Amino acid sequence: MNIARALEVALPEMPEQIVRRNPPKLDPQVVFKEHIEDGRPVVVVKMPRTDLVFRFEPIQWQLVQLFDGIRTYTELAEQFQKDTGTPVSEEYVKELASSLLDTPLLYKTPLERNIALQQELRSERGRRKRAKTLDFSDIVIKVWNNADGYITWLHPRVRFLLTPWFVAASFAMFFLMGWMWWDRIGEIWSDSFAFYNFSHKSGSDLIELWLLFAATAAIHETAHGLTGKHFGATVERMGFTLMYFGPSFFCDVSQVWVIGGRWARIATAIAGMWSDLLVCFLATVAWWGTATGMPIHDFAYKIMMVTGIGVSLLNLNPLIKLDGYLIFSELVAEPALKETTTAYLSGLFRRYVCGLAVEVPYVPRRKRLFYVVYGTLSGLYSYFLLSFLMVITYHILRSFTPDWAFVPAFAIGAWVFRSRIAMVAGFMKTMYLDKKERLWAWCSPTRLMGLGTVALLLALAPVWPDHVQGQFMLIPGRTAVLRATVPGTVEKVVVEEGQTVAAGTLLLRLHNLELESQAARAKEELSRATAKATEAALYYTDLAAAEQARRNRAEDEVVSKERVAQLSVLSPISGVVATAHVEDLVGRSLDEGDVLLQVNDTSELKADIYIPEFAMHDVHVGQQVRLLAAGQTRPQTGFLCSLSPATAEIPEGMLRKEQLQGMNPPRFYVGTVVLRNDARLMLGVTGTAKVVIARRSLAGFAFRFLRDIADRKVW
């Protein structure tokens, strides 16, 4: 240690001390109002341009209001007793003033403000130095401390938005918007969430989405400010930030939580979502009233996705600190709901699960179940949202490098959860230090030998399923392709696409004047031949020739009837009509052999599994197969009933195209599994199949991997 370091340790730098010789003075800018919380009066106090909110008992606040910077502590005690009749000591007044010294409620001289600012900057530099990492979770780009001037200028111009008649009219707008959506509600619902899948977005798409979010966020936060101004609050500041590089605005209308009542606070919180829905209504009108393919039609639909269902549901969710949380906390009268429930759950877990000597915050019995349920759901949902950035990163990079996209996604996840990881590491250290003596006392040689035996059994026991994985596509169990057996013109189609039909059901009817005329002539000739045969039998003249002629005409009549019957096309199997736009067949002239309709029997479906060539040595007919269709959570179970004798081309789209020329896909064989359709499966659905080979141990997996490498390279 050099002498400079020794002096620094011996004589550490002391922070500047704020010495107050003047009597305390309440800052005249403070905002306060008396509220009723938990059935008792509380004065809520806030200093503008700070995030601190204080709560006082009314009698305490009455004493603080006497701090004028002129009266001494003795005079303050005497004046308080004179005003309220309640005696108070000079020491109590000094203690109260001392407790408020470091808060922004007391007025500070310029020198005191400079010293406080230096200490704040020093502590901030210390925090940054200790962190040693850049924080991209919330990058402040610009803060407008004079935002109240902007809101004050804008409020008279859009005051009509906050009038009762416009609020009622907005309900009518939302109803009309729902009516415009009605025919395509399923499509809009799915698109509202598929819009945020970043797998197939180009660079221009991402820039457009970024700008749309920035514009709607500005309107959203301005609506908060206008509503707060409507209820008498001052907008202290507005700002533009990047939250994980995504555009985000904020509007500080916290004064409405001091001077406004419950419904004023709820109205201020809901104003942002209200403005989003109004913008969505205008975009819906433009989308509904323009033709498909027009640029304004497509752009309006994108605005609907940004301001419609998905964003509204996210904001209304009370599990995270967004507008829905503020509304919910007001309705349940819990201003710090997330913090209190998290602290309660943490205390329960540390004490009753981990056995640590910690104090559990007191919660009334009637609220305990609610705290546990809300705290659990809120924590799970918060971690889900934190994982969303990792998922987005993976989806964006997967289109460029599908095999290595998980690396930066995992790095992003580790960075997002770094504070949680550090917290868990610290907690595990605390657990170890608390349980260390008991742990070492428990770890006797006998127990260690038992643990080693269990680990050895886990490594050698053949309990882990080994499987071969492949993609599959569902095809119908039986298919009937109906062709015209006689030429004709389609006269009538009696079925529709997707209609379920039974075997023998009439599907369509053809018209062929020549065949129908031939049938009529054959019938007439049969009648004449029959009459001649009857006459010959009566007079015994040329009976054999007449009878032969009658038989020939009867055969002709049967043949003509059969050909006419073929003009009515019947379904040979029970199934579903799979031909699209069957009504377009009406009036079409067809030759013999032309395709009419296709009927698929969907009571049983076949899953064509594309098995890689390198895995075929382990696959055999009769093995169990687990199939998970896309979009489902419950797998189907079947058995491999056949294997193709030769390789087959996998359908386009089922296999990702590799961007590297040195990474070529393998050849595939097709295995077939027959599944009973329980109405959950649809034709053409793809998914992942796992052919169960055997059950192996962990050591068996390692041995087989090394054996396969040796077999492929050394033979």
Residue 554 CA to residue 404 CA, distance in Å, equals: 77
Strand pairing category for 488-493 and 464-483: unpaired
On whether the CB atoms of residues 695 and 463 are closer than 8 A, the answer is yes
Q: Taking the chain, what is the end-to-end CA distance rounded to the nearest angstrom?
A: 66
Quick one: fold of 31-131?
Arc Repressor Mutant, subunit A (1.10.10)
Answer for the pair 39, 248: CB distance below 8 angstroms, yes or no: no
Placement of tokens 């401390």 in the chain: 145
Paired with 467 in beta bridges are 692
Residue 79 near residue 71 (C-beta atoms within 8 A): yes
Nearest to 322 by CA among 468, 220, 420, 195: 220
Q: What band does 6 get if pLDDT is binned at 50, 70 and 90?
A: very low
**DSSP-derived 3-state class of residue 19:** coil
pLDDT attached to residue 663: 40
Helix (H, G, I), strand (E, B) or coil at 589: strand
Which one is predicted more confidently, 401 or 155? 155
Q: Do domains 31-131 and 465-473+602-713 have the same CATH topology?
A: no
210-226 per-position pLDDT tens digit: 888 888 888 988 998 89
CATH hierarchy code of domain 465-473+602-713? 2.40.30.170
Burial of 149 (0-12, 13-18, 19+ CB in 10 A): exposed
Q: Coil, strand or helix: which one is 275?
A: helix
Lowest-pLDDT range, 132-146, 468-482, 653-667?
653-667
Strand 40-46 and strand 53-56: the pairing is: antiparallel
Average pLDDT over every residue of 200-209: 73
Does the pLDDT of residue 4 top 50, yes or no?
no
If pLDDT is split at 50, 70 and 90, which confidence band does 3 have?
very low
Sequence ranges of the domains in the chain: 31-131, 139-335, 338-439, 465-473+602-713, 478-595
pLDDT score of 398: 61
pLDDT recorded at residue 281 = 92
106 pLDDT higher than 80: no
Give the H/E segment covering residue 35.
Answer: strand 31-37
**DSSP states of 70-127:** SS-HHHHHHHHHHHHS----HHHHHHHHHHTTTSTTB---HHHHHHHHHHHHHHHHHH
| Alpha-carbon gap, residue 240 to 250, rounded angstroms | 7
Please list the helix, strand and coil fractions of the chain in percent, rounded to the nearest 5, in that order: 55, 20, 30
pLDDT value at 417 more than 70: yes
CA distance readout (Å), 201 to 367, 392, 457, 461? 46, 11, 49, 47
The answer to whether residue 359 scores a pLDDT higher than 60 is yes
Could you list the beta-strand ranges (E) of 211-359: 237-243, 246-252
Reading the block at residue 667, the tokens are 């050849």
pLDDT one-digit tens code per residue, 310-352: 777 778 888 888 888 888 888 888 878 888 898 888 888 888 8
Question: How confident is the prediction for the chain on average, in pLDDT?
Answer: 79
Q: Is the dihedral of CA 254, 260, 261, 266 positive or negative?
A: negative
CA distance 140 to 124: 15
Q: Does the pLDDT of residue 401 top 70, yes or no? A: no
